Structure 1
């Protein structure tokens, strides 16, 4: 039987730890734009402090972006997206606050009175997963509503 020196054993264990640490587990909320258009995205969610809406992320055609980093804090997230190239938007029944430029808005009540716009958001059920990727498509079921 071959005997391995303690120094070589320590180096092998250190290398194994470094390799294991090089591939961390990701837990994020991501959005992938599977359309051929540039898209602007806003999200809404409820956390320990209440409702928040955030935007805008600009997604290139067939591109993906991380919207929130870390383990998801909620089961349901809400999305409003705008097709910059063809017009139209992805909307839903949940009304939340937005604005035309980059924003983080606390609360979803009295949007207009507080100087914000109102927009419809569609619901995404993550099933309480730690991470989730939303696929934004232009096919039936997730297609933008054209004016």
Structure 2
């Protein structure tokens, strides 16, 4: 599930860095992020990505023309549980799943591309922009990144605050023992190794949905949260693409799934649903599963997700899974 960092904004930092390089993006969050940059021109909006930025580090986007509108989007890597976090805005831009350079694309779907909502940068942010969280880690971002990854790997880190105290040092020592490595206080090497291990462990954990139908599909899920049922959606999955819609280790019977085809104004629901939950036409989150109509929702039937294996469940949608495609 995508989690928008409502208070996490891009802040102007160029005035504090007179020697900043053109097109620089710095990461003062506690997460590894993948960033993309876009810019306007005579042929529409062009974009390039992805550049992975470690906590406390910066990267440079080259080849961006001077004096044109610029846009930025970032998301957390797959190393973290709980779903991706995004730093985004309101401008739709075509992107690819792997590294890309796109010039003036407008019809994303026709080109097999995905859409992400970029934030337009202020003119002074074009030289150097900074990604932050509500907890403004600043120069402590690297230490906070180490704590966040230790937490993602199940080590006992109660608070991510960027202060490497006794508890954090004890968990770093435990990680070194578990991996047979020693980093000697080199936090750059440590955070890189932590990220590699977390990617290997967590990138598949959760509910993964692949779309093998003849068109895009919209996905909604329902699950019990704090003893109360909650349904939410939508995730758009293009034909031939896969998406992790739940990024937590799953237990049997924990998650239910609904899908519908997307074909202009026409859509077909997923067949063989067994449990009723509430949905809405646009992006939604519904607490509870009863009285859908009275609360402005529509009641539909969800399927149980497959039994997870080691916390991972996979679903592949095909044309035969939707109502009017089977007689």
Shared fold, TM over 0.5 = yes
Do residues 136 (structure 1) and 136 (structure 2) align?
A: no
Give me the TM-score of the superposition, normalised by structure 2. 0.37
Which is bigger in relative contact order (C-alpha 8 A, separation at least 6)?
Answer: 1
Distance (Å, rounded) in 2 between the aligned partners of 1:46 and 1:40: 21
Equivalenced residues, count: 133
Specify which structure has the higher proportion of helix.
2
Q: Which residue of 1 aligns with 2:270?
A: 90
**Alpha carbons 2:306, 2:313 under 8 Å: kept:** no
Do residues 44 (structure 1) and 222 (structure 2) align?
A: yes
Root mean square deviation, CA, Å: 2.5
Q: Which consecutive unaligned segments of at least 5 residues does structure 2 have?
A: 1-180, 184-188
Do residues 119 (structure 1) and 303 (structure 2) align?
A: no
Deviates more, 1:111-120 or 1:76-85: 76-85
Q: Which consecutive unaligned segments of at least 5 residues does structure 1 have?
A: 1-11
Distance (Å, rounded) in 2 between the aligned partners of 1:117 and 1:81: 14
Q: Which residue of 2 aligns with 1:7?
A: none
Distance (Å, rounded) in 2 between the aligned partners of 1:52 and 1:137: 26
Distance (Å, rounded) in 2 between the aligned partners of 1:93 and 1:71: 23
Report matched runs for 1:1-147 at 5 Å.
13-14=182-183, 18-19=192-193, 21-24=195-198, 25-26=201-202, 27-72=205-250, 75-85=253-263, 87-91=267-271, 92-127=273-308, 129-139=310-320, 143-146=321-324
Residue 87 (structure 1) shift: 3.7
Distance (Å, rounded) in 2 between the aligned partners of 1:97 and 1:16: 45
Specify which structure has the higher proportion of strand.
1
What secondary structure does 2:243 align onto? strand
Distance (Å, rounded) in 1 between the aligned partners of 2:270 and 2:209: 13
Give me the TM-score of the superposition, normalised by structure 1. 0.76
